[in-house]
Chains A and B, each alone.
Chain A
Amino acid sequence: MRRIISVLMENEPGALSRVVGLFSQRGYNIESLTVAPTEDATLSRLTLVTIGDDHKIEQITKNLNKLIDVVKLVDLTEGSHIERELLLVKVRANGAQRDEVKRSVDIFRGQIVDVTSSMYTVQVAGTGQKLDAFLQALGEHTIMEVVRSGVSGIARGEKVLSV
């Protein structure tokens, strides 16, 4: 099962490599990973998407918790949550294609953030599934370059992950 695990960790050098190292060392999957400092400069927030059965996820969370740099973590997929990923894509846009691309961008509530005479750069935010659907709608022949941020997430309601 796909899980989104959000980790609050010390903003120390080497902390990220310990998390990544844990996953390769123990043979766990990482689908995506994002990390950045939080409003408290001593803390980083890392969101990772992984796949595994309940037993594996339990081991992942236990071993993450064992890392000295990890302060707290939550499996967002255990409760209701908001998941967002940012997509930037360069799309060929010539002639009739230009309108077609523009329509798709509107349908997916994306924005065109850069333009040349033959291409658009499009920005779309949403769940991984939505981004997949948008790319599919564009069709592989029009896509020149894709960059995705990896998933960020936050719990719904008043639940917060903080120290």
Chain B
Amino acid sequence: MSATALLEIESLSKSFGGVVAVSDCTMTIREGSVVGLIGPNGAGKSSVIDLVSGFEQPSSGSVRFAGVDVVGKRPDQISRMGMIRTFQTPREWRDLSVLDNVRVGRSDLERESLWRSLTSARRLRRQDALDTEELRELMAHYHLDELRNDRAVGLSGGQKRLLEFARIASAKPRLTILDEPMGGVNPVLGERIGEAIRELKKAGSTVVVVEHNLPFVEKTCDEVIVMDLGSVIAQGRFDELRDNKRVVDAYLGNDDE
């Protein structure tokens, strides 16, 4: 495993009014790893993701992504540095076709200039057509090729999850943050999602997974970070944490009880 840190979070805090969501949270995500972020509801996992991805601004503390301070940047600026996150529910672009969802996912921002869209429409269309082959392969990989010309809103919940992965794969991010990718997902599809995460890693992306499904986390993640009450209480391999008293008390639960 490479030792360089891709994401460094230091004494991050955030309070909403009187509620402290994140307090003095410090963690490091190494490049190339798949990290599970677990903890009871309200532990501050999603808040940390919002702070890292720019949707919320921290009260104090710092976030460095690939060595650059991202506090104060907008979500789209952080995204262009190579970070893609998901939300707890799939967020497809509902009235775009599945194919267009993946096309926008590629984030080829230069093509989207208003001026170029007016002046060189034909060339842009040709470029789109050239990409289609590659994108169809990608969609076929996620069982979406048959549905490529359908409106994304008509997909089932599971297909929307897969579309999310296809979109991420086409964007080729350096860091992927998945917020509960297994929510509302059946076991068969769960297998497929675990595979998709491993494929992301193979493609060179570092992955952070927020998840409550612990067997899934154990199977998928190289390393686990446990949060409680807004800060990190443990970090390490899953089997090491099984014996950690604080983790057991906070989250895993005790069989004797």
Task: Verify that A and B bind, or say they do not.
Answer: no
